[in-house]
Structure 1
Amino acid sequence: MTDNSLLAGPALRRLRKREGLTQAAMAASLGISPSYLNLIERNQRPLSARVLVQVIERFDFDPRSLREDEAIGGIDGLARRMSDPRFADLAIDREELQEFLATSPQAAAAFARLYDNAASTDPRGEDPVDLARQEVERWQNHFADCDAAAEQLSDRLRLSRGDIASALIDHLREQHRLSVRILPADVMPGLVHRLDLHARQLQLSEMLPGAARRFQIARQVGALEQREAIETLVAGARLSSPEAREKFREHVTDYIAAALLMPYGRFLRACEQTGYDLAVLQRRFAVSFDQLAQRLTTLQRVGERGLPFFSARFGRTGRMVRFTAGASGAVYPLTGARWPAWAPYAAFERRGTMLVQAVTFGEGEAAPRHWLTIARTVEFDGAACSARQAIVLGIEARFAGDMAEARGISLDPLDAVPLGVGCLRCGRPDCLNPAPARYARGE
């Protein structure tokens, strides 16, 4: 999933004006014709590798500025902002947004900045969890430097061999003088983990199952090994409240833990070799379904991209408690959203069963997008009780053809279950009593 062409007209035009050159003068310096340069500046021709090298060498040009749209999340980040109900009557589709971003990237960035700043002062946007989620979406849930550092440490510790937990525990003891101790639940009321620096212990609740214990140990290793990188990301985040910054810090730390347990290169190869077979991946990397689902939303390494998944978690009442868009471009309303015909809701009645369902949704877009979604329940063992929640993975159907979970599934949009906007916004009486969801397969 790589870009075949690079349209960089606005960036090249700004560079030319900064240098005070005419098109003819700049074209002569680059060894191309003025008409060809004119086409490049108007985004009617891509910037070739040869011309890009000439631009870098002759004008001390930073090629990272060609990806300036990534600062606002690209076309998907712009689409998320435009899905605001205040713009619903404008019916702006993705094609218009793509043209806006390609021809006027700085104007698009200005709009995104104004929108984000307005959201940060809007009482409706002060939820720390939601603010942290927006920051994660700005990065498309891919933190390249942290991912690479975690992969290097995983290779150094040879976490692919033998008992992963033992290797991490040994590393904590040898490098950080910390031991790991499992304690009874009544000794750690309300907690699943605790770092006791006085006793030099990482203390874990006995209520945590194996995968959760390994994750917490990896999390502590990541927090210690990448403390500076984590704080750099938090300091650079556009978050005004300490609570939102702490939520973002927790997300990045969890991200590093997942990257340690599922190092990027090896994990992506396993995904491609198995057709993203979720059961096989879970066993191969000794992780929970929830940990696997979150990791699948992160596969955006340049030149080594995986499929663009989104992931969500639902409570038993049907309320969404987490949503990670990744690079999928999915937009889901977190307030008032109830889609009873969707698989995550039925998953609670079929405990531990994998439900695969094709659906269409896409609030704020000219036409709903077609998705393949996979849902199942998981048990979250905590200090006080066990809570059952539903995890859903989603991917656009056009990318899902070779997936193991898509075998035997109709990917014809006409067979998909249509999901509407959130009930508070929709008002359709039949939304509350939908026809039974159409499942292609339940495992």
Structure 2
Amino acid sequence: MSSGLGVKIRNLRKKQKMTQAGLAEKLGISASYLNLMEHERRPVSAEVLIKVAEIFGVELREFQQGGVQTLIGQLTEVFSDPVFENHEIGIQEVRELARAAPDVGRALISMYEGYQELREQMQTVSARLDEVEASGVDSWRLPSEEVSDFLQRHGNYFPTLEIAAETLRKKAGLPSSDLFGALKGYLENTHGIEVRFVEANHAVKSVRRFDPEERVLFLSELLAPHTVNFQLAHQIGLLEHSPMLASLVDDRHLTTSDSRALMRVALANYFAGAVLMPYDAFLAAAKSVRYDLDMLGHRFRTSFEQVAHRLTTLRRPGNQGVNFHFMRVDIAGNISKRFSASGIQFARFSGTCPRWNLVVAFMTPGQIRTQMSVMPDGRHYFCVARTVNRGERGFHAPPALHAIVLGCKLDEARELVYSDGMDLERTEMAVPVGVTCRLCERMDCEQRAFPPLQRSLHIDENVRGLTFYASLKE
């Protein structure tokens, strides 16, 4: 199977209007050998790859195979839509498109997202059409989708924010014992900002509110101590690093002011996580306790979700942790956060697979649930899931329960304490999991809710399978 690296090199060269001879000279190889590499007839060495990255000013992660696999998965999901049912587009054609013309593939995904958004708007009741029009909603994509894609493109790692967090810890002399006192004192002494807690009945609509004129940071009394510290660090990030955040969000893929604003919030959260869980100390601790999330939470005075999210950011070249994927899902199956360094694909346009351990996690709130799974493409993963209660707001307030999913490729699972006692070699015991019913070809699944989009619906009234759709003819 070709790596696709040669095609990427060819695309970069053509974008820069550089000849094969010109690039070959810069690389110190012959033009004929470069031609063979560009046509996937010779392997691309690490040395050549590094030189190509330097010549064209791109980062090495642009060449990661995981990015191609993710694009293939997304395109497969797009072409599985019934709108393409009259076009016989096979998986091999999808792979060739993703490898030969990734920008075209991403453009197709953007067009499909626009189509999906438009279709949803057309299904909205007529009474709301005027409201939607008056609101000025003209974006094809949800801001949250653009933010997720932005984080994925950057590998969820931002070196400038890591440095800024380390600088703050040194400048403020942040101890591990009294982070609240240190952060509160830093805001008061450095920025002249008073931190004031507000009773819940006066802060129903916000848990944090900064008044720049009064120089007061209002925090709800409902916030847990670890969330208070996080919000203090978040506010410091907004105050001290606004130009840096603005520079990071100056990205053509963030197409609206809402997307950029949401991305600034996400980056300020990244900064806060790096302040509370400094990179080197946190990574060393994670390896020491074998990624025990509860142990890490106790050691760094942070929540389960904060720890899980921080683990996905340990991506520093030459000093990184396990390649995790992360997902936060509500009880209705809506994905509010997602990131994948493991290569696993998440559904973008439909619900999650009911066989994922996140479903069991909702049935046993607060308990860690582990799972060894296999995707339809044959890749194996190891996941842990647990529910978190996002804020206890009193007896009459409805609970906000979410499941946090953290996982990795099966070959990295031994580094996690949660794999103890499991026979990871018995891959036949892995639970068959899909991205979503619409894309999964497994017809023997008792959880199937919809037929695969790539199959015709042939119902035999004399046959009843495990589910209604399991009676589809092969």
Same fold per TM (> 0.5)? yes
- Aligned-pair RMSD on alpha carbons? 3.7
- In the alignment, structure 1 residue 238 sits paired with structure 2 residue 253: yes
Rate the CA distance shift 1:135–1:340 in 2: closer, same or farther, 3 A. Answer: same
- Per-residue deviation at 1:14? 6.4
Contact kept, 8 Å, 1:165 with 1:214, in 2: the verdict is yes
Between 1:344-353 and 1:214-223, the stretch displaced more is 344-353
Which among 390, 404, 412 is matched to residue 417 of structure 2? 404
**Cα distance in 2 for residues equivalent to 1:137 and 1:32:** 33
In the other structure, the counterpart of 1:439 is none
**Matched residue type, 2:79:** R
> Is the partner of 2:150 in helix, strand or coil?
helix
**Cα distance in 2 for residues equivalent to 1:288 and 1:348:** 18
Rate the CA distance shift 1:423–1:39 in 2: closer, same or farther, 3 A. Answer: closer
In the other structure, the counterpart of 2:375 is 361
Contact kept, 8 Å, 2:203 with 2:220, in 1: the verdict is yes
> Is the partner of 1:236 in helix, strand or coil?
coil
In the other structure, the counterpart of 2:446 is 430
Rate the CA distance shift 1:69–1:7 in 2: closer, same or farther, 3 A. Answer: closer
Contact kept, 8 Å, 1:7 with 1:47, in 2: the verdict is no
- TM-score normalised by length of structure 2: 0.75
In the other structure, the counterpart of 1:348 is 362
**Cα distance in 2 for residues equivalent to 1:21 and 1:344:** 50
Which among 344, 347, 352 is matched to residue 330 of structure 1? 344
- In the alignment, structure 1 residue 11 sits paired with structure 2 residue 38: no
Q: How does 1:88-103 map to 2 (within 5 A)?
A: 90=89, 92=91, 97=95
- In the alignment, structure 1 residue 260 sits paired with structure 2 residue 260: no
In the other structure, the counterpart of 1:377 is 387
Q: How does 1:291-310 map to 2 (within 5 A)?
A: 291-310=306-325
Contact kept, 8 Å, 1:310 with 1:393, in 2: the verdict is yes
Q: Percent identity?
A: 30
**Cα distance in 1 for residues equivalent to 2:414 and 2:391:** 35
Contact kept, 8 Å, 2:372 with 2:431, in 1: the verdict is yes
**Matched residue type, 1:410:** D
- Per-residue deviation at 1:205? 0.7
Contact kept, 8 Å, 1:164 with 1:214, in 2: the verdict is yes
**Matched residue type, 2:200:** A
In the other structure, the counterpart of 1:110 is 104
**Matched residue type, 1:346:** V
- Per-residue deviation at 1:83? 3.5
In the other structure, the counterpart of 1:441 is none
**Matched residue type, 2:244:** A
- In the alignment, structure 1 residue 165 sits paired with structure 2 residue 180: yes
Contact kept, 8 Å, 1:6 with 1:47, in 2: the verdict is no
**Cα distance in 1 for residues equivalent to 2:11 and 2:197:** 61
Deviations 1:197-247 (A, max 9, x none): 233111111111111111111111111122112122223151333333333
In the other structure, the counterpart of 1:286 is 301
**Cα distance in 1 for residues equivalent to 2:174 and 2:10:** 45
Contact kept, 8 Å, 1:309 with 1:326, in 2: the verdict is yes
**Cα distance in 1 for residues equivalent to 2:11 and 2:205:** 58
**Cα distance in 2 for residues equivalent to 1:381 and 1:21:** 59
**Cα distance in 2 for residues equivalent to 1:306 and 1:298:** 9
- Structure 2 unpaired stretches of 5+: 82-87, 121-139, 450-465, 467-474
Contact kept, 8 Å, 2:200 with 2:220, in 1: the verdict is yes
Rate the CA distance shift 1:319–1:48 in 2: closer, same or farther, 3 A. Answer: closer
- Per-residue deviation at 1:152? 2.9
Rate the CA distance shift 1:141–1:430 in 2: closer, same or farther, 3 A. Answer: same
**Cα distance in 1 for residues equivalent to 2:361 and 2:20:** 63
Rate the CA distance shift 1:82–1:6 in 2: closer, same or farther, 3 A. Answer: closer
**Cα distance in 2 for residues equivalent to 1:330 and 1:383:** 35
Contact kept, 8 Å, 1:135 with 1:238, in 2: the verdict is yes
**Cα distance in 2 for residues equivalent to 1:344 and 1:252:** 26
> Is the partner of 1:430 in helix, strand or coil?
coil
**Matched residue type, 2:190:** Q
Rate the CA distance shift 1:80–1:286 in 2: closer, same or farther, 3 A. Answer: farther
Deviations 1:81-134 (A, max 9, x none): 3232415875537x984x8766x4xx2223323433553465256333233323
- Per-residue deviation at 1:48? 5.5
Q: How many residues align?
A: 413
**Cα distance in 2 for residues equivalent to 1:159 and 1:289:** 21
- In the alignment, structure 1 residue 46 sits paired with structure 2 residue 37: no
**Matched residue type, 1:322:** S
Q: How does 1:305-316 map to 2 (within 5 A)?
A: 305-315=320-330
Contact kept, 8 Å, 1:30 with 1:51, in 2: the verdict is no
Contact kept, 8 Å, 2:143 with 2:256, in 1: the verdict is yes
In the other structure, the counterpart of 2:77 is 84
Contact kept, 8 Å, 2:172 with 2:182, in 1: the verdict is yes
- Per-residue deviation at 1:368? 4.3
Rate the CA distance shift 1:31–1:82 in 2: closer, same or farther, 3 A. Answer: closer
- Per-residue deviation at 1:300? 2.0
- Per-residue deviation at 1:271? 1.7
- Per-residue deviation at 1:373? 1.2
Rate the CA distance shift 1:86–1:100 in 2: closer, same or farther, 3 A. Answer: closer
Contact kept, 8 Å, 2:21 with 2:31, in 1: the verdict is no
- Structure 1 unpaired stretches of 5+: 436-443
**Cα distance in 2 for residues equivalent to 1:148 and 1:286:** 21
In the other structure, the counterpart of 1:413 is 427
In the other structure, the counterpart of 1:119 is 113
Deviations 1:342-391 (A, max 9, x none): 322222333322111212236xxxx1432211111222116573423222
In the other structure, the counterpart of 1:225 is 240
- Per-residue deviation at 1:307? 1.2
**Matched residue type, 1:46:** V
